Structure 1
Amino acid sequence: MTTEQHSTYISLSREEWATLHSSPAFQLSELEIKTLQGTIGNLTNEEINQIYVPLIQYLSFNIQAMKQLHRVRNEFLQKDTKNLPFIIGVAGSVAVGKSTTSRILQSLLSNLPEKPKVEIVTTDGFLFSNAVLKEKGLSDKKGFPESYDLKVLIEFLTEIKSGNPRVQAPVYSHLHYDIIPNEYIDVCQPDIIIVEGINVLQTPKQVGDSIPSRFVSDFFDISIYVDAEENHILNWYLERFKVLKETAFAQPESYFHRYAALSDTEAEAVATDIWNRINKVNLENNILPTKFRADIIIEKGINHQVENIRVRKI
């Protein structure tokens, strides 16, 4: 393996990372932790204070540096332009904990002294509808790069970084496993936007004779990749599937209601098949190769707790 001296990253163990912050400790209630954690996980106040509080401090340094650069540019160009939203990209496999990481970042960033407005936008909303995926023969490739309407996603990010005061993002329903027609969320000049999705660090693939000139990550001010060993992610995926069959899948209107009556053994077999046919292929071919495009890599261990942090050298 490459030594740190010849790596583009500084690698810090959990213990080393935990000593870096100087902020007061957070003490969240059990309800607050449960809300941030989501379906599965092992989130604790210790994890928040040892991992996420230093991460927030590091992100805050970057946000303040961007504001300083904006001020200097305005002075040089003799213009009076507004600060644009600071965009954080969060990438990683299905079931690795991207959504949990994004919710924690949103909660802690919102509590910075200046109380910034922080919003999360997931790329699920930019998937093609199930009808379009079926028409394109992509029903079994949902989540693969070609299943997203990248043109609409790029247009959304362009509007954000152009200073448009009100930009709309399409809405995805996990219950119905599809885009909700004619429903949008308004993104109205947040200070910080967290763009979360498995595809956000992927580079465009050639379409016909051309390759798109802009990447989703071109619009990020900083990017994070949530990482773990594949066997850990598979176990989390299976655990989540079994929890969902008792909860969300049990709702009659759920797209996956057919799985609600499965035994745990049957559910594990179905989920393993889905993983091997779809999520494993997408992870190995499309997601994992983008890891080293991230500015920060969060490496999790078997119990969902972070064991190591890599920060790109500057």
Structure 2
Amino acid sequence: MRTGEASGPPYVVEQEDRAPVERASAATLAAEINARRGEAGGRIIAGFAGPPGSGKSTLAEQVCAELGDRAVLIPLDGWHLSAALTKDIGASERRGAPHTFDVAGFLVLLRRIRAQSDFGEGPTIYAPEYRRDLEEPVAGAIAVDVGTPIVVVEGNYLLLDCPAWRDIHPLLDLSYYVQLDTEERQQRLLRRHVEFGKSSAEAARWVQTSDERNARLIEQKLLQPTRFVHAP
């Protein structure tokens, strides 16, 4: 049974009502996901969400490495609008915010993945990926074959209670919210931005004016995950 179906309509979880953050290894989470797949008897979708720099991408990659060829990883970043289109809508300084993603396109993909599994047939589905060296999404970069039993998705906004975004939650069989100490998370972001070409001053400004603005929204509009887990 899917996450949204098992627990009723998704709801925002307030800070004081959140379960303790657990330290779970990638191997432990992979075993949990694989067990759920066995219970479901078919394909499942597991999601890893969290604020920028929380370590969700790394953890999702580690989990997929543990699962091997039973899983495929699809990052939400592939649904970034192009840099040119983001500029056209006046959002270059907010690239990475929810309105700079094609959430409708991402939902279409998740539903196609469900339908492909439900019917047990159909052509390979291709998903885009985001290339940090290009700072652009690249189409048709990730293949989802009908025989792949586990699809792992990861991204900032998978558990966001905002229009369209909240429709992701019921499509996830398992969902993990990845957390990290704020100072350490910001330091990771600073290092990442400098690595990909920003000056130290530009990186610091971007973290405070864009990344942290997004992080606050994610925290304030968080739908109930299956588990809260600590970053690797």
TM-score bracket relative to the smaller structure: 0.7 to 0.9
Distance 1:186 1:12, change over 3 A: closer
Q: Name the counterpart of 2:12.
A: none
Q: Percent identity?
A: 22
Aligned mates of 1:273, 1:279 — CA distance in 2: 9
Where do residues 1-314 of structure 1 align in structure 2 (5 Å cutoff)? Answer: 9=19, 11=20, 14=23, 51-67=25-41, 83=42, 85-110=43-68, 117-163=70-116, 164-180=122-138, 183-189=140-146, 190-205=148-163, 212=164, 215-242=167-194, 244=195, 249=196, 256=197, 259=198, 267-285=199-217, 287-291=218-222, 293-300=224-231, 305=232
Q: What amino acid maps onto 2:227 in structure 1? A: I
4+ runs deviating over 6 angstroms: none
Check the 8 A contact 2:127/2:143 in 1, yes or no.
yes
Aligned mates of 1:294, 1:192 — CA distance in 2: 18
How many residues are paired up? Answer: 211
Q: CA RMSD in A?
A: 2.4
Distance 1:228 1:292, change over 3 A: farther
- Could you state the TM-score of these two structures normalised by the residue count of structure 1? 0.61
The structure with more radius of gyration: 1
Alpha-carbon offset, residue 288 of structure 1: 1.7
Check the 8 A contact 1:145/1:202 in 2, yes or no.
no
- Could you state the TM-score of these two structures normalised by the residue count of structure 2? 0.81
Check the 8 A contact 2:78/2:137 in 1, yes or no.
yes
Alpha-carbon offset, residue 54 of structure 1: 2.6
Aligned mates of 1:197, 1:237 — CA distance in 2: 15
Higher RCO structure (Cα 8 Å, ≥6 apart): 2
Check the 8 A contact 2:130/2:136 in 1, yes or no.
yes
